[in-house]
Chain A
Amino acid sequence: MIKLILVDDDQINSKIFSKRLAKRGYETEVFHSGSEFLDFFESKGEQGKFIIILDIVMPKMDGMAVLKAIREQYSPMEAPVIMLSANEDTEKVVECLNNGASDYLTKPANIDIAVARINTQQELINSHTGKIKKKQLETINSMVTTFNHEINNPLTIALGTLRRDFSKIDEKRVKVAVDALERIAMIVKKIERVTKSDQVEEETYVAGTKMIKIK
């Protein structure tokens, strides 16, 4: 089950909410200010590992400012944020949703509604992760096809050279064959590397766009 991060200056509600979520099987961590949470989040940098439940009204740095800071680096799929609001905060909720909040809960949060919304975010993360894995596989398949093609050229050279009458092969031709075989060996090693799943990762291409990178 995914970890939940609660960011709320209200020490009583956050403690009780955290305990009730824990009773439903969730691991939770509570932060009582936006800046305290952002320090943790930026140092941790583990997007996709938790769902953030963020209070809108907080002193100094409010929920909206924290949300904007998160969205500068992470998409809603990488760092889902469920806003916590008072019933009458409709305008603020809309503003947060327009700025990348994933969902919202009204205070005091009903535990069943909270769990349902957390589960929705969890399912979206799972679906996104599945799509990324599929893209990674597609990328690996394309690379294998390219490598197959790349192998074919030096293989033709090596075979062509070695199929000649050996008495007619001079040192220069042997070097051509060795170079071609070494090239094949190098490509085979590359294939071996990229087919290992931990050699594929996502990297920011431009802000908000990620590319699949093969190490």
Chain B
Amino acid sequence: METKKTQYKYINDGKILFEFEEDLDIFEELVEDYQARFHLMTNEIKSGIQNKSSEEVRIAAHTLKGVVANFYSDKLTQSAFQLENSSHEENWSDLQEYYDQFLKDNDIVLKEVITFINEQKSKSSEVS
């Protein structure tokens, strides 16, 4: 299905609505779970970089990538992919840089995701 982008710069809101069958409750739950587990997941990457354990970084970044893929944000997915992919090269200073970039991208994208949820909620309350 073709989905058109609207006012959001980093997320594909049409794709979110399509993939989640317009079930905002489930999507919201996913975002809440993500926020609740975010530090745990990113700490695994941080600890992997500190311990120079590429496997630890790879697995944690892979999981993170899988979760953020639900936001249909090329920027954030790409950022997580870069982190996962670079873990093989074991260039620890680059990895630290990619990790910091991921945190920045996450802030931007998550703000949009939350705006999107609030917007959808107000739309549905207008209808009801």
With A19-B26, A20-B26, A108-B19 as known contacts, state yes or no: A9 contacts B63, CB within 8 Å: yes
Bound form: Cα–Cα A86–B33 in Å: 20
**B69 CB contacts on chain A under 8 angstroms:** 107-108
Interface membership of chain B positions 64-99, coded 1 if the CB is closer than 8 angstroms to chain A and 0 otherwise = 011101100000000001000000000000000000
- Residue ID in chain B nearest A107 by CB atoms: B66
Number of B positions contacting A (CB below 8 A): 19
**B116 CB contacts on chain A under 8 angstroms:** none
Interface membership of chain A positions 84-128, coded 1 if the CB is closer than 8 angstroms to chain B and 0 otherwise = 001010000000000000000001101100000000000000000
Bound form: Cα–Cα A53–B59 in Å: 19
A16 touches B30 (CB 8 A): yes
Bound form: Cα–Cα A16–B63 in Å: 14
B26 touches A10 (CB 8 A): no
Bound form: Cα–Cα A58–B59 in Å: 7
**B65 CB contacts on chain A under 8 angstroms:** 86
B residues engaging A (CB < 8 A)? 19, 21, 23, 26, 29-30, 33-34, 37, 55, 59, 62-63, 65-67, 69-70, 81
Q: Can you list 6 A-B contacts (CB < 8 A)?
A: A11-B37, A19-B29, A57-B62, A59-B55, A88-B81, A111-B21
A residues engaging B (CB < 8 A)? 9-13, 15-16, 19-20, 23, 57-59, 86, 88, 107-108, 110-111
